Amino acid sequence: MVGPSSSHTAGAVRLGIMARKILGVEPDKAEIRLHGSFAETGKGHGTNLAFAAGLMGMGTDDERIPQALALAKEKGLDIQFTSADLGDVHPNTAEFHLRAQDGRSAVVLGSSIGGGQIKIVAINGFPVEISGDYPTLVILHRDLPGVVAQVTSLLATAQVNIAQMRVSREKRGAQALTIVETDQPLDSSVMLLLRKLPAVVQAIAVDLG
Residues near another protein (CB under 8 A): 1-7, 9-10, 36-37, 40-46, 61, 63, 65-66, 90-92, 112-117, 183
- SS3 for 123? strand
| 35: phi then psi, degrees, rounded to nearest 5 | -120, 150
Least Å distance between CB 94 and another protein?
13
By beta-carbon proximity to another protein, the closer residue of 25 and 163 is: 163
Least distance in angstroms from the C-beta of 60 to another protein: 9
Q: Please, which residue, 170 or 187, has the CB nearer to another protein?
A: 187
User: Which residue lies nearer to another protein by CB, 43 or 166?
Assistant: 43
**Rounded to the nearest whole angstrom, what is the least distance from the CB of residue 48 to another protein in the complex?**
12
Give every CB contact of residue 51 below 8 A, 6+ residues apart in sequence: 12, 13, 15, 16, 30, 32, 79, 81, 94, 96
User: Shortest distance, CB of residue 147 to another protein, whole angstroms?
Assistant: 29
How far is residue 76's CA from residue 28's CA, in Å, rounded to a whole number? 7
Shortest distance, position 103 Cβ to another protein, whole Å: 36
Identity of the residue, 5 or 178, whose beta carbon is nearer to another protein in the bound complex: 5
- What does DSSP assign to residue 198? T
Question: Do 184 and 135 contact (CB within 8 A), yes or no?
Answer: yes
Distance between CA atoms of residues 188 and 158, nearest Å: 11
Residue 175 or 184 with smaller CB distance to another protein: 184
- Grouping H, G, I as helix, E, B as strand and the rest as coil, residue 118 is strand
| Residue 161 or 171 having the CB closest to another protein | 161
Least CB distance to another protein at residue 191 (A): 22
CA distance 38 to 5: 11
Distance CA 81, CA 133 (A): 27
